């Protein structure tokens, strides 16, 4: 694993843990909300669709 993969995994796990609450995730990761939003965009992450067919 390289650093971007580790970062993506850590951010995704924290977002999943907080049900994609960016403010709460940022606080737990020690980042500002804006910094986490930047990283989400940079890493190409998006909230999974919760609808089940």
Q: What is the pLDDT of residues 22-43, one digit of tens each?
A: 999 999 999 999 999 999 999 9
Share above pLDDT 90 across residues of the chain, in percent, rounded to a whole number = 83
The CA distance from 11 to 47, in Å, is 12
Answering whether pTM is above 0.85, one says no
Share above pLDDT 70 across residues of the chain, in percent, rounded to a whole number = 92
CATH number, domain 3-43, options 3.30.70, 1.10.3470, 1.10.10, 3.30.1460: 1.10.10
Q: Is residue 36 classed exposed, middle or buried when 0-12, 13-18 and 19+ CB atoms within 10 A define those classes? A: buried
Given a cut of 70, whether residue 10 has pLDDT beyond it is: yes
pLDDT score of 49: 81
């Amino acid at each position: 694993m390289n650093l971007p993969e580790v970062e993506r995994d850590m951010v995704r796990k924290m977002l999943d843990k907080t049900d994609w609450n960016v403010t709460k995730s940022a606080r737990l990761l020690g980042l500002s909300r804006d910094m986490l939003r930047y990283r989400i965009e940079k890493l190409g992450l998006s909230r999974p669709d919760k609808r089940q067919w």
